[in-house]
Amino acid sequence: MNLETRKEQLDQRIINAVNRIGRQPAEIKLLAVSKTRPATAIRSLAALGQQAFGENYLQEAINKILQLADLELEWHFIGQIQRNKTAAVAENFDWVQSIDRHVIAERLSAQRPESLADLNVCIQVRMSKEAGKGGVSKEDLFALAETIATLPRINFRGLMAIPENTSDRDKQRLAFREMNSLYKKLKTLHNTVDTLSMGMTGDFELAIEEGSTMIRVGTALFGPRPKIQP
């Protein structure tokens, strides 16, 4: 299946999901997760109208940003952030979705070049206790949000979450529903908040049904990642 067909099928699945609950397709932003994908694939998808791309690995992402500098793309950093990498993130991305500590937010604010627009940021919330997953705890979320909202050169946009890796659809739905509840509460406290980034290839329809405004999709767009040979 080629890229254009996969994009058309994904667009239709989004339409079907919003129609089931009376939402509009325009309410859902599609972030194409392009980590490990070549710049040529991103260019081809951009030619089909996709503008927003998400990357996890900093150096790989910067290389692609440079290769595609002739295109007007929107770059989101969605990986975990090390303290010594905040300057490069602040200088090269339009969005950062994976803030989970005060120090990271403060460094991004201080290191955002004045020549660029304010950096759009989301707080990553830890939805499960799975090892290796980043995110602030639900208990500490609102204190972190208060800090971020006061920082210069930062535009606080909302929340991002990665649900537990499970085939239990009811469990997934409940997790998404809880995130939407946190998001709605945050919106009452901060008038810049308008983004709930949750849902990936395997669960984005559930996420849309439970209030997601941005889905992060890789495989359903680009196809399966090639297996690394031993």
Closest CA to 111 of 129, 132, 96: 96
Task: Identify whether 227 is part of a domain.
Answer: no
Closest CA to 207 of 10, 6, 17: 17
Residue type, 172: Q
Per-residue pLDDT of the chain (230 residues; tens, 9 = 90+): 899 999 999 999 999 999 999 999 999 999 999 999 999 999 999 999 999 999 999 999 999 999 999 999 999 999 999 999 999 999 999 999 999 999 999 999 999 999 999 999 999 999 877 666 789 999 999 999 999 999 999 999 999 998 888 888 899 999 999 999 999 999 999 999 999 999 999 999 999 999 999 999 999 999 987 664 44
Domain of 73, CATH number, reads 3.20.20.10
- The answer to whether 122 and 128 are in contact (CB under 8 A) is no
- The answer to whether 176 and 159 are in contact (CB under 8 A) is no
Closest CA to 200 of 5, 48, 56: 56
Task: Identify whether 179 is part of a domain.
Answer: yes
Number of domains in the chain: 1
Task: Identify whether 132 is part of a domain.
Answer: yes
Closest CA to 183 of 155, 152, 150, 214: 214
